[in-house]
Amino acid sequence: MVTLHIKNMVCDRCKLVVTQELTKLGLHPAKVTLGEVELREESLTKEQQDAVDGALTAVGFARIDDRKGRLIESIKNIIIERIHHVDTIDRKFNWSDILAEALHHDYNSLSSLFSSVEGTTIEQYIIRQKIERAKELLFYDELNLSEIAHKLGYSSVAHLSAQFKKITGLSPSELKKSRKAEDVRTPIDSLPLKT
């Protein structure tokens, strides 16, 4: 089996698009997860690799060849999965332990690598993902701010509101009043990394 590591896969729709693109090329995806695809093929020719690269690039993805790039993409995928695809984040959730255990690396080395390549810390990346999730929940208008803070693992509404204002320039209630989702929501794979 061939394993492809793919950058910018952040949701179930991404998995569907990647699967469709690979299938169009006559390849046979056996398992597709965020950031990784296992193909049934034993190997890919240079022409097939080029075709995969072209097809992925055309739909906003990129194949990752280097070990550091795969590790960084794995960090991002774990964070996105835990923030955007779980019901509630426990306040006592320890990101450093989760990442170190999942990736079999010391957290300090993961943090150092992430910062040196991405130009921001893992912690800032986590905050940006949480704020983007908070925006999404605000626009659904199903939960109040206290429930959103609890769902995202914040100790209080004040803590969420302070981080929200720092990142977006608006308080959660100001954003909710604006109701212009297209003006303030950002796709999670397009979030700026630097504060």
pLDDT grade for 52, boundaries at 50, 70 and 90: very high
- Sign for the pseudo-dihedral over CA of 167, 171, 173, 175: negative
The 10s digit of each residue's pLDDT in 116-143 is: 888 899 999 999 999 999 998 988 888 8
Structure tokens at 92: 């006592």
Torsion of CA 129, 87, 36, 54, to 10 degrees: -60
Q: pLDDT digit string (tens) for 59-104?
A: 998 888 888 888 999 999 999 999 988 888 877 778 999 999 999 9
Q: Against a cut of 0.75, is the pTM above it?
A: no
pLDDT at 189: 63
